[in-house]
Chain A
Amino acid sequence: NAGVTQTPKFRVLKTGQSMTLLCAQDMNHEYMYWYRQDPGMGLRLIHYSVGEGTTAKGEVPDGYNVSRLKKQNFLLGLESAAPSQTSVYFCASSYPGRRTGELFFGEGSRLTVL
């Protein structure tokens, strides 16, 4: 049982390049999330999805896009990377309702934008 799997784990981009981070979960969770984690700032929500075909903005959505075409996958795209997007990105999933806050996280994707 893999849980939440993120790919790639590491990536270096030049300013202006684009890329996609892939998240896959095998727990049949309805909700999926993308967070970024920066030193001293905690986890901040970028985008989230409450079901297949739905997405919504979180706290820091600018510069990112997402898609959830299949229930088990949640993609995070950077169309034109900027140095401010250097961060560690975490995907998470959860059940709806009372257990929404019991998040299952992937191991993270470390992105550096030069």
Chain B
Amino acid sequence: EDQVTQSPEALRLQEGESSSLNCSYTVSGLRGLFWYRQDPGKGPEFLFTLYSAGEEKEKERLKATLTKKESFLHITAPKPEDSATYLCAVQAGSSASKIIFGSGTRLSIRP
């Protein structure tokens, strides 16, 4: 069964304290892995797409990496405004219905 698991469920960091969020997946025929950011009371906002193992994408303090079994979202020197829930999703196969979301990691950055 296709599955996406994110860890940890919640993470509290001090401002400037770097860390990583994990997204592990078991899918047949990975077409892409996607990271989203979701602020309270808002819809998810697309951040990155990764298509193949070894690929990396960066945006400001965020860097996403992909292996054959998992993806990491590295946060370097985070600021309070980086506080949000980060969602990982995978597309398993070509169907639009095969986009599977993880439950997310709730990140909190203390000033």
Contact = CB atoms under 8 A, between A and B. Distances in A.
Interface of A: 4, 31, 33, 40-45, 48, 50, 56-59, 90, 92, 94, 96, 98-108
Contacts of A98: 31-32, 51
A33 B96 contact: yes
A101 B104 CA distance: 16
Nearest to A6: B43
B34 A102 contact: yes
B98 to A, nearest CB: 9
A100 B103 contact: no
B99 A42 contact: no
B96 A108 contact: no
Contact of B31 (A48, A101, A105, A106): A101
B99 A101 contact: yes
Interface in B38-84: 41-46, 49, 51
Interface of B: 31-32, 34, 36, 41-46, 49, 51, 87, 89-91, 96-97, 99, 101-104
Contact of A42 (B43, B46, B90, B103): B103
A58 B98 CA distance: 9
B87 A31 contact: no
Nearest to A90: B43
A59 B98 CA distance: 9
Contact of A103 (B42, B44, B102, B103): B44
Given A31-B96, A42-B103, A100-B99, 15 more contacts: A42-B87, A42-B101, A43-B87, A43-B89, A98-B32, A98-B51, A99-B49, A100-B96, A101-B90, A103-B34, A103-B36, A103-B46, A104-B46, A107-B41, A108-B43
A72 B75 CA distance: 36
